[in-house]
Each structure stands twice: as structure tokens, then as C-alpha cells.
């Protein structure tokens, strides 16, 4: 048995208490950072560096530099501006800089007397009269010969209140010394160090480097996290993340589920009744879903398809297969409006087939709701559509075999988990189909959702015309109103979306009501409707029906119409305060138009001045309707954690890797993960433990 086959127990690594200076107080601080052993400490990685390895000439300094300089105090004085402060002007012959202190002792003032030679470290800022440093660290030296610099870049660690950088530095120094000893092999968990950027780097080498980079290290590469030594560690972190998701997936696949026989009778009936052909992408995904359903373990498939790519039919196909086999299927939507719409669409399809549809909404009367619950419990309702009301206590299913989660990105992880729990009957777990319109690059999806099977609908139904998009400042709002008026008179239908981001839902509804009144009074001959989140379900539904049947020309709405709403004749959309919305939301909203045969357009109304990011978002919307390109920009602006909506679960909170920046490592990471699973299973747990510690409850969908 060689060392790679040996399972590493948690006491392979000594506890931090073996280090000098770790008493109960510091141990407590370290625990808050989840540092228990020397390994944990070594993998507690710097977030950035300071360069104290060289002395900079004052003449070369730029605002923003963090650096060491030496010089002579030319003049110092205590002054009273708004508050008392000590100013010392320091020169080194190449230039002059001002040191500014708000808190200082008398002794300090005396020390900094004219003629004193000093060494200081701090951040250079632009002051009123040239460069300055506020509260630099400094030492006064009797003579310059005594001045020494650090022999490596200074690491700055993530820390917690009460734990000073200096302590972390002292502790990591000791841990690095321990690395020199004979314990070293245990840290190398990979049989062969991976080749990164043409170099084979051992984990030990990488750790030494990132904790104490030498003065000649490429500081720019380090600052942007792309140094080969950082990439070596990022590789391992991504690997650990991959392994943990694979493990999760294996666990799920050990759970039993009802295998659904491939019949396809109902499905074929629906397909034959459609006025259009399914796209090749839809067919491919449906085939994959049917194959999954045949397995005696739960399907866990994520279907990604841009807005309007036809995901509803995928959901329907899966439901039909399950219903035909004699089980129940549930479709969960994130908003009332979308649920209502699904109820319409599904009942149009299901009624001719003789399939019973049930639905639940938070706004049903008590009587209606208990009637529905009874039908769900006794199995009379075969397909069930609903919102989160489906999680209410008291909802039980007779024989639930499939859960479809539509527009997954709008649900919290807990809601999804709760629904899955509901579906567990005895030992049997329901199949799960998760649908999302958040298009993310494939490698990223494969990493973030490595515990799921993954399909993309990479094709829109034929005949869709890209929506032309313009941006118009609020000052020209009247022109937009005129355009809406003329469009509606020519038989077009339009949405006017009122958005307020920070404010409450109540305020958003208020704003919509105001706009509704304004437009209603100034647009003669145009029927204006209003829909917002505070209206009763019935009222909302009636308005949506009126809009769908062209009894309303212009629909003033809040962002309740953001997802899923499908009215093909609507061809114009106005979005107010577009500068405040994120790209994903803008893309979703705009996806409500451009569904019919007419040329569609979207007007982004904005208030100046635009921030840089807002401008980038609006420019992106104008430049493209491609969901993947929009998502790419969104990722760059917001980062993967936000975009994938998994931030609160802890997933993707990586220490050193960045899924976006390090994407190119992913194919190699996947190879390596496979190799470890088959050849070195013991290393798998050790790696997961190293990088993810005890926080393994993440990533469940
Ligand atoms: P999304 O993926 O956004 O949920 P939907 O399922 O709501 O998209 O589909 C959008 C519209 O496209 C619906 O009106 C639907 O009937 C229609 N549709 C779906 N598939 C096709 C297809 N293959 N050809 C033409 N129209 C389609
Ligand atoms: Mg949809």
C-alpha cells in the first residue's frame, strides 16, 4: 500500500495548538475561520499582497501605490483644520510627500521632528497639495544603514475581528517551517502533479510561494490571480469542488425512484396536434428526459434554454410520460402569473387527452384550496401546477413521481429542497426536471451543476425575429408615449414595464398605478390595462386574459410579467428605469416580445447620468439578443456566485479559484476527477476535506 492508497484520517495533521502562541483565545479566532489543523492553516490563502521588498523613490510614486519609502522629515507641525492633526513633510531628494496623522502622541510628534530619517509604509493618495499617506506605518531610524526591507512580498490574509495580520503571518511562518519536515508527502494528494501552463508544480512548492512570494515574483500576475502557483492551487480547489459534486450525484443515484416505462402514447398525441414541428433541440432534450425517467434512480436533469426556446413542451412531455404510467407529476412556477399561465396552457393540452389537472395558488379561497388538496391526495389530479403554495402543510400527493421546477433561477434552494422532500414516498424519490433560462457558458454550467445532468436547448423555434432595442433618456419620454400610441392604433400590443429596484413591492405597484393613470388619460383610443403583484389572483388573471385576447392594447405592468408570460401578438415593450435592472432581468423582460411574426422592438427608458456598469448593460442589450452573450457580460459584471444564484448556499465560494477566470483549467480538472474516482478513491475524500472541510451540505438542488 503506497501513500496514495492510504486514507488520511483527520489527525494526520497536527492541530494548530501545537504552534507557538496559540492559546484558547487565538484558537477561538482560528476556529471562526474554520482553521483547526496545520493543513487548514496552510490552505488559508492570502487574498492579496503588499510589496515591502523594495524602497521606492518618492519621485516615482503614483496615487494608489502601496509601498515602502525612506526619507528625511523636512518639516512637521500640528495643525487644526476641522480637527487636530499632525503633518510631516518627507523628502528623499527625488520628491516630497506629506504624512498625515489624526491620532498621535506627543512622543510621536517629537520623534518626527525635522531632520529625522524615517522609513514608512502606506498607501499613496492624492492630497490637496500633492501626494500624501494617511497613517502610514513608520519607524524612525537614527541612520539609514539600519533600514532593512522584507525578503518576500507581504501576504494579507482573510481574517476575523481580533485576529491581527501579524499573528496570522507568525502562525503561517511556523506552519511553513513544519512543511520542511518529514510530514510533507501527506500534503501531496495527487499521484502526479498536474501540468499547469507547461509547468509541473507540486502542492508544497505552490503553498510556499503563495504564502511568501519572493521579491522578484510577477506582482501583476499575482494581483490578478493568474500566477502559475496560484493556478496550481486553483486547479486543486476546482478539482475538490468537482469531486464533491460527483459524490453528491452518486449519493442521489443510490436512492430508489420509480422507473417510468417508455410508452409515449399521450406524448405522440400532443405532438401530432401541434401546429408546428418541435425543434431538433427540443426533440433531443425530450429523448434524454425519457431515457432518464426509465432509470430506477431519480432523474436530476437541468434543462437550459434561452427565453422563448420552448421549455414548456419539455415539461409537458415529461409529465405525460409519468401520468401515462399511472403517477402524478407536479410543475412548480415561481410566480402566480406564470402558474396561472401554465394552468391555461396545460389545460388546453391535457383536457383533450382526458388528463385531470389540479392547481394550487396562495390566493385561492379556503374552500377551493381544500377541494384541490383532496384531489391531489386521492390521485384524481394527475398533473398539478402551482407556486410555492405547493409547500404548504397539508398538501400530500397520492403517487408523485416527477417534480418539474420551471425558471429555477427564481427559486431559493430551500424551496426546491422542500418540494423534493414532499415527493419522497417511503423510500422512493421523485424524478426531477429543472428548467432555467439563465444561459451560462457550458464549462461553467458543467462545473456549477456537476451533480446534475445537463441539456441545452440551443435553438429557437424558426421564424423568430430579433427584437430591435433602443435606449431613450427620460427627457424624451413624450416621444416614447407618442410611439406607443401610434403602434397601438395600428393593431400592435405593447407592454409598459414599471420597475423600481430598491423600493418595496408596494411602491412598485404604486408607480405602475400612476403610470397607468397617466397613459390612460393621454392615450385616446387605446385600451390600457394594469397588472401588478398586489392585485387579486382572479383580477390579474382576467387582465392577462384580456391582453392575450387583444381586448387590451397596452399593458402597464410591474416586473410580475418578467418570466414565462407568452402573448405572441405583443411586439413593443417599454422598460422604465432600465438603468437600474440587471442584465438577466432585462433579457427576461425583453423576451416577452418578439414571439410572433411581427418585427418587435424594445425601448429602454433611462435616467442620466448612467454609471459605467449601467451603460455597459444598456449597450449590451442594444448590441445583442443572444442570451449566452448577455450572460457572459453579466458574469463579468456580477461574478458567478450572483449569476447562478447559489451564493447563499456557500457553493462557488471559492478561496482561490475563480470559475470564470480559471475556466480553461476545467477540462483538465474533469479528467483528473475521473482518474481519482477510479484509481485513487481515498484521495477523493482527503481532497474534499481539505478544500471544503465540513461544509458539505452545499450544492443540493
Ligand atoms: P420558454 O422556453 O421561454 O419557456 P415557451 O415554452 O413559453 O418558451 O415557448 C414560447 C412559445 O414558443 C410558445 O408560444 C410555444 O407554443 C412556442 N413554441 C414552442 N416550441 C415551438 C416550436 N418548435 N416551433 C414553434 N413554436 C414553438
Ligand atoms: Mg417558460
Read off the C-alpha cell for 421.
422532500
Residues 37, 14: contact at Cβ < 8 Å? Answer: yes
Backbone angles phi, psi at 570, to 5 degrees: -70, 125
Kindly report the protein residue whose alpha carbon is nearest to atom 14 of ligand 1: 566
Q: Return the residue whose CA atom lies nearest to atom 1 of ligand 1.
A: 308
- The pLDDT value recorded for residue 7 is 40
Closest residue to atom 23 of ligand 1, CA basis: 278
- Give the closest residue (by CA) to ligand 1 atom 15: 310
Indicate the pLDDT class of residue 556, thresholds 50, 70 and 90: very high
> Is the CB of residue 279 below 6 angstroms from any atom belonging to ligand 1?
yes
Cite the DSSP H helix spans in 333-412: 336-350, 366-378
310 Cβ inside 6 Å of ligand 1 = yes
Closest atom of ligand 1 to CA, residue 314: 6
Distance in Å, CA 542 to ligand 1 centroid: 23
pLDDT at 229 over 60: yes
Whole-number mean pLDDT of the chain?
86
**Closest alpha carbon to 621 in 583, 579, 647:** 583
Neighbours of ion ligand 2 (CB under 5 A): 311, 564
**Three-state DSSP state, 342:** helix
Weakest mean pLDDT among 44-53, 326-335, 415-424: 415-424
- pLDDT tens, residue by residue, 470-506: 999 999 999 999 999 999 999 899 999 988 655 566 7
- Give yes or no for residue 700 having a pLDDT over 70: no
Is the predicted pLDDT of residue 426 greater than 70, yes or no? no
% the chain with pLDDT above 70? 89
Q: What DSSP assignment string belongs to 484-522?
A: HHHHHHTT-EEEEE---SSS-HHHHHHHHHHHHHHHHHH
Instruction: For residue 395, give the C-alpha cell.
Output: 398538501
Cβ(308) to ligand 1 under 6 A? yes
Beta bridge partners of 332: 386, 405
- DSSP sequence for 128-186: TTEEEEES-EEEEESSGGG----SSPEEE----TT--HHHHHHHHHHHHHHHTSTTGGG
* For the CA of 335, the nearest ligand: 2
Q: From ligand 2's centre to the CA of 308, what distance in Å?
A: 7
Residue 410 confidence (pLDDT) above 70 = no
- Residue 611: left (phi > 0), alpha (psi -120 to 50), or beta? beta
Residue 451 has pLDDT above 70, yes or no: yes
* Across 26-30, 347-351, 504-508, least confident range: 504-508
- DSSP letter assigned to residue 62: -
Assess whether pLDDT exceeds 80 at residue 449. Answer: no
Q: pLDDT, tens digit, for every residue of 289-345?
A: 999 999 999 998 989 888 888 999 999 999 999 999 999 999 988 877 788 888 988
Q: Please give the residue that has the higher pLDDT: either 697 or 219.
A: 219
Please report which confidence band the pLDDT of residue 147 belongs to, taking 50, 70 and 90 as the band edges. Answer: low
From the CA of 309, how far away is ligand 1's center (Å)? 6
Is the separation of the CB atoms in 30 and 15 below 8 Å? no
For the stretch 377-397, what's the b/e string if a residue is b when 16 or more beta carbons lie within 10 angstroms of its beta carbon?
eeeebbbbbbbbbbbeeebeb
Candidate of 284, 306, 310 to mutate for ligand 1, largest count of ligand atoms within 8 Å of Cβ:
310
pLDDT at 701 over 90: no
Ranked by mean pLDDT, which of 31-35, 161-165, 317-321, 420-424 comes out on top? 317-321
Q: How far does CA 111 lie from the centroid of its chain?
A: 51
Predicted local confidence at residue 4, as pLDDT: 40
Query: Cα(354)–Cα(230) distance, rounded to whole angstroms?
Result: 61
CA distance linking residue 241 with residue 673, whole number of Å: 10
CA dist., res. 253 & res. 314, Å (int): 22
Ligand 1 pocket residue status of 487, Cβ below 6 Å? no
Amino acid at each position: 500500500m503506497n501513500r496514495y492508497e492510504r486514507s488520511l484520517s483527520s489527525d494526520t495533521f497536527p492541530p494548530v495548538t501545537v504552534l507557538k502562541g496559540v492559546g484558547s483565545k487565538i484558537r477561538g479566532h482560528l476556529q471562526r475561520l474554520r482553521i483547526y489543523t496545520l493543513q487548514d492553516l496552510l490552505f488559508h490563502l492570502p487574498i492579496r499582497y503588499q510589496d515591502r521588498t523594495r524602497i521606492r523613490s518618492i519621485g516615482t510614486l503614483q496615487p494608489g501605490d502601496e509601498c515602502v519609502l525612506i526619507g528625511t522629515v523636512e518639516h512637521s507641525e500640528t495643525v487644526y483644520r476641522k480637527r487636530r492633526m499632525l503633518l510631516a513633510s518627507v523628502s528623499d531628494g527625488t520628491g516630497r510627500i506629506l504624512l498625515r496623522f489624526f491620532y498621535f502622541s506627543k512622543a510621536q510628534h517629537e520623534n518626527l521632528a525635522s531632520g529625522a530619517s524615517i522609513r514608512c509604509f502606506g498607501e499613496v493618495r492624492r492630497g490637496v497639495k500633492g501626494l500624501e499617506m494617511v497613517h502610514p506605518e513608520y519607524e524612525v531610524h537614527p541612520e539609514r544603514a539600519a533600514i532593512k526591507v522584507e525578503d518576500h512580498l507581504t501576504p494579507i490574509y482573510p481574517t476575523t475581528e481580533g485576529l491581527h495580520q501579524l499573528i496570522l503571518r507568525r502562525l503561517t511562518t511556523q506552519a511553513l517551517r513544519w512543511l520542511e519536515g518529514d510530514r510533507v508527502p501527506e500534503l501531496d494528494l495527487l499521484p502526479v502533479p498536474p501540468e499547469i501552463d507547461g509547468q509541473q508544480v507540486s502542492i508544497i512548492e505552490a503553498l510556499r510561494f503563495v504564502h511568501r512570494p519572493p521579491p522578484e515574483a510577477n506582482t501583476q500576475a499575482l494581483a490578478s490571480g493568474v500566477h502559475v502557483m496560484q493556478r496550481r492551487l486553483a486547479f486543486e480547489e476546482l478539482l475538490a469542488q468537482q469531486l464533491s459534486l460527483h459524490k453528491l450525484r452518486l449519493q442521489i443515484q443510490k436512492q430508489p425512484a420509480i422507473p417510468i416505462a417508455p410508452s409515449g402514447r399521450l406524448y405522440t398525441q400532443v405532438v401530432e396536434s401541434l401546429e408546428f414541428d418541435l425543434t431538433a433541440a427540443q426533440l433531443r432534450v425530450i429523448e434524454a428526459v425519457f431515457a432518464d425517467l426509465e432509470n430506477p434512480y431519480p432523474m436530476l436533469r437541468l434543462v437550459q434554454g434561452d427565453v422563448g426556446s420552448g421549455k414548456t413542451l419539455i415539461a409537458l412531455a415529461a409529465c405525460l410520460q409519468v401520468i401515462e404510467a399511472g403517477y402524478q407529476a407536479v410543475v412548480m412556477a415561481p410566480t402566480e402569473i406564470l402558474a396561472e399561465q401554465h394552468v391555461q396552457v396545460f389545460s388546453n393540452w391535457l383536457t383533450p387527452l382526458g388528463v385531470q389537472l389540479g392547481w394550487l395558488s396562495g390566493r385561492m379561497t379556503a374552500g377551493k384550496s381544500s377541494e384541490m388538496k383532496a384531489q391531489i391526495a386521492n390521485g384524481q389530479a394527475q398533473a398539478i401546477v402551482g407556486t410555492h403554495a405547493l409547500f404548504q402543510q397539508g398538501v400530500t400527493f397520492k403517487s408523485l413521481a416527477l417534480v418539474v421546477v420551471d425558471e429555477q433561477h427564481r427559486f431559493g434552494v430551500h424551496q426546491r429542497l422542500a418540494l423534493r422532500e414532499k415527493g419522497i414516498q417511503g423510500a422512493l424519490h421523485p424524478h426531477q426536471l429543472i428548467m432555467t433560462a439563465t444561459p451560462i457558458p457550458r464549462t461553467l454550467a458543467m462545473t456549477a451543476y456537476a451533480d446534475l445532468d445537463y441539456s441545452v436547448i440551443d435553438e429557437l423555434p424558426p421564424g423568430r425575429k430579433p427584437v430591435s432595442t433602443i435606449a431613450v433618456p427620460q427627457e424624451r419620454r413624450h416621444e416614447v408615449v407618442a410611439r406607443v400610441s401610434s403602434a397601438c392604433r395600428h393593431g400592435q400590443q405593447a407592454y409598459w414595464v414599471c420597475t423600481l429596484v430598491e423600493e418595496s413591492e408596494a411602491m412598485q405597484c404604486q408607480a405602475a398605478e400612476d403610470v397607468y393613470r397617466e397613459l390612460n388619460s393621454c392615450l385616446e383610443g387605446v385600451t390600457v390595462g394594469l397588472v401588478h403583484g398586489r392585485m387579486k389572483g382572479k383580477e390579474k388573471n382576467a387582465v392577462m386574459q384580456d391582453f392575450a385576447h387583444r381586448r387590451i392594447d397596452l399593458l402597464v405592468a410591474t416586473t410580475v410579467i418578467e418570466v414565462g408570460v407568452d402573448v405572441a401578438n405583443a411586439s413593443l415593450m417599454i422598460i422604465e428605469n432600465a438603468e437600474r435592472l440587471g442584465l438577466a432581468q432585462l433579457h427576461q423582460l425583453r423576451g416577452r416580445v418578439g414571439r410572433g411574426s411581427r418585427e418587435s422592438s424594445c425601448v429602454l427608458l433611462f435616467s442620466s447620468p448612467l454609471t459605467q456598469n449601467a451603460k455597459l448593460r444598456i449597450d449590451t442589450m442594444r448590441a445583442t439578443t443572444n442570451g449566452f452573450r448577455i450572460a457572459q457580460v453579466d458574469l463579468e459584471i456580477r461574478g458567478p456566485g450572483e449569476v447562478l444564484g447559489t451564493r447563499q448556499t456557500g457553493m462557488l465560494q471559492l478561496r482561490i479559484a475563480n470559475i470564470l477566470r480559471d475556466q480553461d483549467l476545467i477540462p483538465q480538472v474533469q479528467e483528473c476527477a475521473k482518474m481519482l474516482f477510479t484509481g485513487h478513491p481515498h484521495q477523493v475524500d482527503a481532497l474534499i476535506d481539505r478544500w471544503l472541510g465540513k461544509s458539505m451540505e452545499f450544492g443540493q438542488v
